[in-house]
Amino acid sequence: MFGKRGTPDAGTPQQAPPPANQPPPQVPGADGLGTAPPPGGTPPASPPQGVPAQEPGQPVAQPSAPPPPPVAQAPSSAAALDHARSEEYYDVKTTVFNALIDTIDLTQLARLDAEAAREEIRDIVSEIVAIKNVVMSIAEQEELLEDICNDVLGYGPLEPLLARDDIADIMVNGADTTYIEVDGMIEQAAVRFADNSQLMNICQRIVSQVGRRVDESSPICDARLPDGSRVNVIAPPLALDGPTLTIRKFKRDRLTLDQLVKFNSISDTGRTLLSIIGRVRCNTVISGGTGSGKTTLLNCLTAHIGEEERIITCEDSAELQLQQPHVVRLETRPPNLEGEGEVTMRDLVKNCLRMRPDRIIVGEVRGPEAFDLLQAMNTGHDGSMGTLHSNSPRECLSRLESMILMGGYNLPSRTIREMIVASIDIIIQASRMRDGSRKITHITEVMGLEGDVITLQDIFIHELLGEDEQGKMIGRHRSTGIARPRFWDRARYYNEESRLAEALATAEVSDESGRPLGENLG
Ligand SMILES: Nc1ncnc2c1ncn2[C@@H]1O[C@H](COP(=O)(O)OP(=O)(O)OP(=O)(O)O)[C@@H](O)[C@H]1O
Ligand SMILES: [Mg+2]
């Protein structure tokens, strides 16, 4: 035990580096309740305590930046807190929390690993509860302990949500309202923060771990949690109802194509088609709406890339989990406060070309880098892939075209379309359905240009047939009767043509007269 009972400055913790691989302890402000929010409830414009301001002209540090020192913090309204929890609980918690902070030496605590620090806090809190004669059951005491540990060592009320692997997204809309996405459906979580100032401190804590900061003067920030979860923060004054935090939880056990089959996102033969597309180096764009499963699908496709290939990935926030031995991972960088040091997706993709890639994988194509990716696809980097936000394969093409135009290229539409046709082989469309399930709805080939129009050919589709009593969508995947897709020769080159022919034939569905159903639904 290294408590510092009796020391006169017990409530004034020293700054110390936090233990490795864990957020630094948070300490309360002078009143023991954290930094008072400035008038209007908005976060302070200056960097929070201990967060170093960027040197003018210095690019913002990347993940290797030193971990942030403790951030002033109120005791949170705690883990798995539900709104029904009594005010009495908060009073007890505040009392115990304040006594803990007076007792414990945070400098020393910061040197312990997470487990040892928890043990230390556990011992002291048990002692405080006994000394103060707080009446509590063992279960209540355990809960309080968990709460306090989360506040001191972790991300406060977010901790229990972060620990759950069934949550896809955590969406905090100000201190009082948090939503989560479970099984494809959004629901409100029984979690709240003490106030917007505590929430802002937690946001700050998250983003400062990757060397960034968020406050009134730079209210938008992307970051990543140590476990790989993707984080976005938008703060007041831009977010009108308090700091808004969105976390795409990183799945420890990444989904595989086999699991997608189990979830009915794709059929067995559809899986075979996707694995062939990945292996035979088709240039592929995965299209889909927000949270439709694009990145997951991209991950699955990359599983079929050969071990001998050199793959370079470019992402805004590294999410891909490639299993191959030879992977170079690149991440973009936002500008620093002086507006300098930005490295865009375009810069990364252009640089890739000088790195002797076999394949280039762009996490999400959202701007002028579309041009560079198409060029890469067109110049010997077959099998390159990317995802793109759009609702259908056709829309995917027009989005690509407008992204290229956004880059300031003064090219006629026809030239851009010719370039698209020459570069992209396959568009895979992902969708999140009304019932929360995710489906691969189209595997579509880019065929060519007819006049000024790009022709597409669906080779495999998902067809909606109805809905059951529970509101679950009923449908089936089937091929469209195309026996020789455009990438047939490519498949043959890789000795995959018989597997391809078999998968397409097996996925056929015939009408009453025995003719295979075509591209048109129904
Ligand atoms: N086929 C699936 N079945 C069930 N869950 C899935 C499926 N595909 C993806 N998910 C889950 O859905 C969530 C969103 O997936 P993903 O990150 O791949 O979507 P996205 O389209 O890339 O989202 P964004 O547009 O935000 O980048 C993740 O938690 C992922 O595990
Ligand atoms: Mg994504």
How many structural domains does the chain have?
2
* 290 Cβ closer than 6 Å to some ligand 1 atom: yes
- Who's near 438: CB < 8 A, 6+ residues apart? 184, 263, 265, 292, 293, 430, 431, 432
Beta-sheet pairing, 453-467 with 438-450: antiparallel
Length of the chain as a residue count: 522
Q: Are residues 291 and 236 both part of a single domain?
A: no
Ordered strands of the 230-234 beta sheet: 185-188, 178-182, 167-173, 244-248, 230-234, 220-224
Task: Write out the two tokens for 400.
Answer: 């690509």
Q: Whose CA is nearest to atom 16 of ligand 1?
A: 293
- Who's near 84: CB < 8 A, 6+ residues apart? none
**Contact by Cβ (8 Å): 327, 306:** no
Residue 414 CA to residue 454 CA, distance in Å, equals: 10
Q: Are residues 284 and 175 both part of a single domain?
A: no
Q: Whose CA is nearest to atom 10 of ligand 1?
A: 293
- The alpha carbon of 24 and the centre of ligand 2 are apart by a number of angstroms equal to 29
The reported pLDDT for the residue numbered 231 is 94
* 232 Cβ closer than 6 Å to some ligand 1 atom: no
* 168 Cβ closer than 6 Å to some ligand 1 atom: yes
**Contact by Cβ (8 Å): 282, 459:** no
Question: What is the best residue among 295, 298, 301, 361 to mutate for testing ligand 1's pocket, by most ligand atoms within 8 Å of CB?
Answer: 295
Q: Are residues 209 and 174 both part of a single domain?
A: yes
Strand, coil or helix: what is 277? helix
* 294 Cβ closer than 6 Å to some ligand 1 atom: yes
The reported pLDDT for the residue numbered 117 is 85
Dihedral of alpha carbons 399, 402, 408, 411, sign: positive
On whether residue 21 sits in a domain, the answer given is no
Q: Are residues 319 and 216 both part of a single domain?
A: no
Q: Whose CA is nearest to atom 3 of ligand 1?
A: 438
The reported pLDDT for the residue numbered 350 is 93
* 288 Cβ closer than 6 Å to some ligand 1 atom: yes
Among the three residues 214, 248, 282, which one is the final residue of a domain in this structure? 248
Reference 477, options 269, 285, 273, 256; nearest CA is 269
For residue 428, the ligand closest to its alpha carbon is 1
DSSP state of 27: B
Reference 376, options 287, 299, 281; nearest CA is 281
Question: What is the best residue among 247, 296, 315 to mutate for testing ligand 1's pocket, by most ligand atoms within 8 Å of CB?
Answer: 296
Q: Are residues 90 and 229 both part of a single domain?
A: yes
Among the three residues 248, 270, 303, which one is the final residue of a domain in this structure? 248
On whether residue 17 sits in a domain, the answer given is no
For residue 435, the ligand closest to its alpha carbon is 1
Q: Are residues 429 and 496 both part of a single domain?
A: yes
On whether residue 5 sits in a domain, the answer given is no
* 390 Cβ closer than 6 Å to some ligand 1 atom: no
Domain CATH code at residue 139: 3.30.450.380
What is the pTM (predicted TM-score) of this model? 0.78
Q: Are residues 307 and 182 both part of a single domain?
A: no
**Contact by Cβ (8 Å): 181, 167:** yes
Q: Are residues 211 and 285 both part of a single domain?
A: no
* 251 Cβ closer than 6 Å to some ligand 1 atom: yes
On whether residue 421 sits in a domain, the answer given is yes
Q: Are residues 221 and 269 both part of a single domain?
A: no
- The alpha carbon of 180 and the centre of ligand 2 are apart by a number of angstroms equal to 17
On whether residue 11 sits in a domain, the answer given is no
Per-residue pLDDT of the chain (522 residues; tens, 9 = 90+): 444 433 333 333 333 333 334 444 444 433 333 333 333 333 333 333 333 333 333 333 333 333 443 433 444 433 344 444 667 777 888 888 888 888 887 777 778 887 888 888 888 888 888 888 888 788 888 888 888 888 888 888 899 999 898 999 999 999 999 999 998 899 999 888 888 988 998 999 899 888 888 988 889 999 889 888 999 999 999 999 999 999 999 887 788 999 999 999 999 999 999 999 999 999 999 999 999 999 999 999 999 998 999 999 999 988 898 988 999 999 998 887 777 899 999 999 999 999 999 999 999 999 999 999 999 998 888 999 999 999 999 999 999 999 999 888 888 999 999 999 999 999 999 999 999 999 999 999 999 999 999 999 999 999 999 888 888 889 999 999 898 999 999 999 999 999 999 999 998 887 777 777 776 544
Domain CATH code at residue 356: 3.40.50.300
On whether residue 1 sits in a domain, the answer given is no
| Rounded alpha-carbon distances, angstroms, from residue 486 to 154, 457, 517 | 53, 9, 19
Expressed as residue numbers, the domain containing 369 is 257-506
Among the three residues 213, 229, 248, which one is the final residue of a domain in this structure? 248
Q: Are residues 436 and 312 both part of a single domain?
A: yes
On whether residue 517 sits in a domain, the answer given is no
Cross-strand bridge partners of residue 439: 431
* 432 Cβ closer than 6 Å to some ligand 1 atom: no
- Exposed, middle or buried, 461 (CB in 10 Å: 0-12/13-18/19+)? buried
Q: Are residues 240 and 277 both part of a single domain?
A: no
Residue 240 CA to residue 394 CA, distance in Å, equals: 36
- The alpha carbon of 291 and the centre of ligand 2 are apart by a number of angstroms equal to 7
Query: Amino acid identity of 230?
Result: R
For residue 296, the ligand closest to its alpha carbon is 1
Q: Are residues 145 and 162 both part of a single domain?
A: yes
* 296 Cβ closer than 6 Å to some ligand 1 atom: yes
- The alpha carbon of 251 and the centre of ligand 1 are apart by a number of angstroms equal to 10
On whether residue 418 sits in a domain, the answer given is yes
* 194 Cβ closer than 6 Å to some ligand 1 atom: no
Q: Whose CA is nearest to atom 11 of ligand 1?
A: 293
